[in-house]
Amino acid sequence: MLANIEGFISQHITQRNTSLFQTDIAKNAQKLSDEIEGKSVLVIGGAGTIGSSFIKALLPYCPGKLIVVDYSENGLTELTRDLRSEYNKFLPKKYITYPFDFGGEIFAKMFLENKFDIVACFAAHKHVRSEKDHFAIEAMLKNNVINTSKLLDLCLQNKPQHFFCVSTDKAANPVNVMGASKKLMENILLAYSRNLKISTARFANVAFSNGSLLYGFNHRFSKRQALSSPKDVKRYFVSPSESGQLCLLACILGNSGDIFYPNLNESQMMKFSTIAEKYLGELGYTPDYSDSEEEARIKSKNWRTSNSSYPVFFFDSDTSGEKMYEEFFTDSDAVDSERFKELGVINNNPKYTVENARELLDKIMLLFDRKDLIKTDIIHFLNSVISDFN
């Protein structure tokens, strides 16, 4: 396994020795400090890679109170240990973690009993492979859309100064249900942006984020299993720390309705198979290419630490709805690339009112109440409410 993942990301993936957003952070340091110092902050989904990176980007500006909510009790425990173990890391005296669902009654009680200045939500279904059938899609839409709308309704009752909710590059011209769910979420956010100061961000891949393919490389290698990846898919990448910084900048500096994205060019895209080869090179091995999964499994079973090569299986992508490339905006988006050095901003006019959004959510819940519901029904519904979903 790689011991220095951040170093590997910097050298072989992002190929940046400093943060992509260093200039924008330095230029806006006073504004960030003014808006964060002494303030009360709620981070939802804070035990995940992006949520925890957001917290680490936030803490140098000395918030007065930090509450972190995540359904993963173990993740919250590790987050706390990590924050308390890091040298010179500020942690407010009022620091509390809660292991519960942000769409439930207990969360609502906690939210309304506090006054938060900053609310940032990172709780999401994020994998295309999660949309297997109508059960999985219902769970995805409830998490990405319905729970987010519940949170927004709570915010109307107890308004924060800043509200941020993370989106995805897959919301631009969505071709899968995950992307469509996030596009729908963006439309809901924009509806509420008339009444709340709301911003969001579309993302590149976060290298070695929890559950990602690259994250899996460490697990495969530790278990002496072959590294496997598509050979025809290119992606943009940011480091975990850059992901947190991007979200912090969008949360604090964005105007209501803004969608942020990283300014990256096509030459910075990388194939997963190329990263796998570099990963093995860092560990002192060359790839031993296989023509099938079975061949890779046999090679793994017979592999010895004395070998100079390591089994890999690279294949043509077969994930339904997976794009061969990434895009952060469409031809119809109004893009501002001048406001920040390394951040682009999509300026939006709300498509819905809050009343329209609630009517749409009621339709989704009625759809889920059907006893004969199948996946195709949900796809047809999403096509009817998202014009660019294909």
Between the CA atoms of 319, 324, 328 and 329, what dihedral angle is there, to the nearest 10 degrees?
-100
Average pLDDT estimate for 278-307: 96
Q: What is the dihedral of CA 373, 375, 380, 386, to 10 degrees?
A: 120
pLDDT exceeds cutoff 70 at 285: yes
What pLDDT was estimated at residue 127? 59
CB of 49 closer than 8 Å to CB of 240: yes
Q: Give pLDDT tens digits for 205-262.
A: 999 998 888 899 999 999 999 999 999 888 999 999 999 999 999 999 999 999 999 9
Q: What percent of the chain has pLDDT over 70?
A: 96
What's the rounded Cα separation, in Å, for the pair 173 and 226?
A: 34
The pLDDT of 320-344, averaged and rounded, is 83
Q: Kindly state the average pLDDT of the residues 260-269.
A: 90
Band of the pLDDT at 330, cuts 50, 70, 90?
Answer: confident
Q: Is the pLDDT higher at 241 or at 389? A: 241
pLDDT band at 362 (very low <50, low <70, confident <90, very high): very high
pLDDT in tens, 155-206: 999 999 999 999 988 888 888 888 899 999 999 999 999 999 999 999 889 9
Q: Which of 82, 84, 159, 71 is nearest to 114 (CA)?
A: 159
Report the C-alpha gap between 274 and 213 in whole angstroms. 13
Neighbouring C-beta atoms of residue 315, cutoff 10 Å? 16
In this prediction, residue 333 carries a pLDDT of 86
d(CA 342, CA 242): 11
- Of the candidates 191, 127, 193, 201, the residue with the CA atom closest to the CA atom of residue 159: 193
